[in-house]
Structure 1
Amino acid sequence: MADDTAMTNAAAAGPSANVDPAIFSSLQAKIDEETGIKDELRALVDTLSKQGRVTQSILSRVHNTPTAELETAVLTPCADSLAAQAATVKILADAASKYPFYKWNNIWQRDMQNVVSSLQLHDWLKAGNLITLEEVGQRLNVPVNVKDEDTFHITIEDYLLALTYTIEELSRLAPNAVTLGDYARPLQISRFIKDVHAGFQLLNLKNDILRRRNDALKYNVKKVEDVVYDLSLRGLIPKKE
């Protein structure tokens, strides 16, 4: 009986004796380290997000600002706000580049897409052109499409997703421009988004989200086409167009 009791106690104690508490202490240390990294990056992204809301608020004025007043009411203050965001992006890039990119990029991904979209919209309103991925990198002073090292960068997917947000905003602007008496703007927007949509058709997209956003582009194209068609029926398209 005594031997049976000893064997039972040994069996009960065996598994515990084989688990080193240091294993869990080490895991907790790793958890604490990752929490510290996340908090560091999250603080910078929160700052970028707040600045982004300011930039987007400025850009939203385009929907009720006559084209002749865009420079002073929208473009100049937007450029200043984007410069502040660019400075924060650089700080974020320096901090994030110390860690594996694809482990942490989900923290800042959407906010970076918003920055890129704001740059695209600002430059289109100013010059009517689409800023390239490389030009975005130059403006924000960060790498783009990096393949040979694990560092902070702007991906092709980020750039393209940002472009779908920009097209969505321009499709809103088309009818609002008509309300403001600018009948040339919808034609300009229509040409641009048709060119972008045609460009997307050349891409073999692997990203599921990007494919869905690409599918939605045709609805934005049609929305602007309807505005242009209505202007045509009413004889309001400028003769030079």
Structure 2
Amino acid sequence: MQYMKPALRNGRYTLISSSLSNTLNPNPFIFFLTSPFHTLQTFRSQSPISCFSSSMAFSSAPDPSLEKQFGEFRTHLEQSGTLRDRIRTVVSEIESTTRLMYASILLVHHSRPTPELLEKAKSQIDVLKEKYKQLADILGGYPGQYYRYHGDWKSETQTVVSMLTFVHWLETGKLLEHKEAEEMLGLNGPEFNLDVEDYLVAKVCG
């Protein structure tokens, strides 16, 4: 019993010290008593806990699905560029034919319009009709893309319709109707036709 009393006193002292330490220090060390005959020991964590796991590591390998999407997008751009080049080649030929037709019409301003002058200007209509057929064949392989590429030949078409309207007026004294212009140029197909806006702009600004 004499040996137990100091031990109990030591135990009470340890508990009181631990309570005081918790009160004075908001981040106390961990105290524990292994036995009445052992001294107090303090333990501190020696190695920090990692906040990252292997599952959170970023992978440097590219995403195959993303590469596939970019590959398809690149292929689409290349196809669109090739198609636009083909269209512009034909449009350039339309522009050249239009200049020849315009040169014939200019002679009308220097003399009275004769059947010979009008026929010379009208001789280019069949050439233009063939060029527009080539455009229709090119766009035929890309259904639903008419208005996407329409701007590539819009201005040239307005000029063509304007000259056709003038020649038609010199020959008949009447305005050229929309359907008549479509038939002259072969632009009366379901997918490839003469846009109404182009026709009206040619009539107003021509």
Q: Under a length normalisation based on structure 1, what TM-score does the superposition of the two structures give?
A: 0.57
Q: CA deviation at 1:33?
A: 0.8
Q: CA deviation at 1:161?
A: 0.5
Cα distance in 1 for partners of 2:114, 2:163 equals: 15
Structure with greater Cα Rg = 2
In structure 1, the partner of 2:170 is: 125
* Percent of residue pairs identical: 21
Which of the residues 71, 74, 99 maps onto 1:25?
71
Q: CA deviation at 1:132?
A: 0.7
Cα distance in 2 for partners of 1:138, 1:18 equals: 52
Change (3 A) 1:17 1:132: closer
**What do you get for the CA RMSD once the two structures are aligned?**
2.7
Structure 1 residue identity aligned to 2:140: S
Cα distance in 1 for partners of 2:141, 2:201 equals: 26
Structure 2 residue identity aligned to 1:56: Y
2:125–2:184: 8 Å Cα contact kept in structure 1?
no
In structure 2, the partner of 1:61 is: 107
Q: CA deviation at 1:6?
A: 8.0
Change (3 A) 1:139 1:17: closer
Cα distance in 1 for partners of 2:178, 2:81 equals: 32
In structure 1, the partner of 2:115 is: 71
In structure 2, the partner of 1:10 is: 57
Task: Give unmatched runs, 5+ long, in structure 2.
Answer: 1-47
In structure 2, the partner of 1:42 is: 88
Cα distance in 2 for partners of 1:17, 1:87 equals: 49
Q: CA deviation at 1:94?
A: 2.4
Structure 2 residue identity aligned to 1:93: A
Q: How is 1:188-203 mapped onto 2 (pairs within 5 angstroms)?
A: none
Task: Give unmatched runs, 5+ long, in structure 1.
Answer: 167-241
Cα distance in 1 for partners of 2:165, 2:202 equals: 8
Which of the residues 97, 110, 115 maps onto 1:51?
97
Total equivalences in the alignment = 157
Change (3 A) 1:75 1:16: same
Cα distance in 2 for partners of 1:129, 1:14 equals: 72
